[in-house]
Structure 1
Amino acid sequence: MKLKSIELVISAMSKTQYPHDELPEVAFVGRSNVGKSSAINTLLNRRSLARVSQNPGKTRTINFYKINEEFYFVDLPGYGYAKTAKTERQHWGTVMQEYFENSQDLRHIFLLLDIRHEPKEDDILMYKYAVHYNIPVTIIATKSDKISRGAFQKTFSMMRKKLDYHGEKILPISSLKKTGKDEIWNHIVNIFEQDGYNITVE
């Protein structure tokens, strides 16, 4: 994917702030500290476009990154941080529900899981949440450099079983070694093409 332009258009707090230019969106979601911001930065060839939070669980906004003036990466707030207050968790749920119910352009969700650990209850609920809203989901397994490639399939089978995940792919990525991003980009382009969008890839 040739990245000609990347712009943080808005950090939205409510549906009134969502972009309304009818460009397709893919959203990224995962637990706090799963490596979501690092994965987005790796995909976009940037070091700090998506900021890695020093205060897990504090991100409240939905960040819309416009790519090549053609589509959006949507960075959703992280979830599952143990020290987050109940009111903050409720706010997170409200923000997510509003986005899922009101975005007219969301085409796909990438659910990020740490390749070293079993999906937790919050991950299972997040997956069920997306399924409830009939939004296609693909799993991205972060920190793939932390286990051997020979262990990938066993780990992926565990993730599928734990989530009852029937998606076609689980895509590993390592932000440290910069591996896996081409496969994820190919998948993103295929998603858009299947929905009738012509995305510039070169």
Structure 2
Amino acid sequence: MVSKKSNRPLIDNCYQLKVAYLKDRGYFLEGAKRSGTITFGSGKKLLIVAFKLKLGVAGKENVYLLFDNVINGEHIRHVQKVNLIRKSSNLNIGFRYYFLCPISNKNATVLYKAPGSLNFMHRTAYKDRLYYADQLKSTQQKSCNYEEVKMELKELKKQLKHGKCRKGKFWTMGKIASLKEKLNRHEKNREKKLLIFSKSKGIMELTESQLNGDYMKSKSK
């Protein structure tokens, strides 16, 4: 029997249109070129999107996308218009741009085109929501991932200690804090699962800290 989870769409399998891609290549700068192409994937999954930006008064800016959809083996030319939202940055230095999803009307810095989808959309606009691979892992798989996180944390601490951070000191410190938080959440969930009362057997399974603490004291009275 095939698990329902295995049929759920993954974000990793989607084409992703990012505001950051356009910004990093200077398309939002005054006097910059307003058209180009973005290449996604390769081989049978190759998708080339031609785009053209029209920047004007805030609220009247948009991106035109031109690409081929493959439907039943046939290439069908498709044009999609996506509105751009321009907002002042928090520091009032320049602007931040967002896509306005044509389906959900939500602001987004990334739009996704899932397999079989006609348009690029916000991830919540899909009938079956898009998932990250980690969200669909079984408890056993997550347990293996827990060991991988511990190993990664150990390696990053080693890099920081010897001043040999591959991605920079501040990135490494931030990553270490993030991994520690992840491990703490796992440990809390693990302790909750260890405390199980079985009515059929009349057995209570406790954490090691509880066995060495108040529970044993109460038993000795």
TM-based fold match above 0.5: no
TM-score norm. by structure 2 comes to 0.24
TM-score norm. by structure 1 comes to 0.26
**Structure having the higher Rg:** 2
Select the structure with the greater relative contact order (CA < 8 A; seq sep ≥ 6): 1
Larger fraction in strand: 2
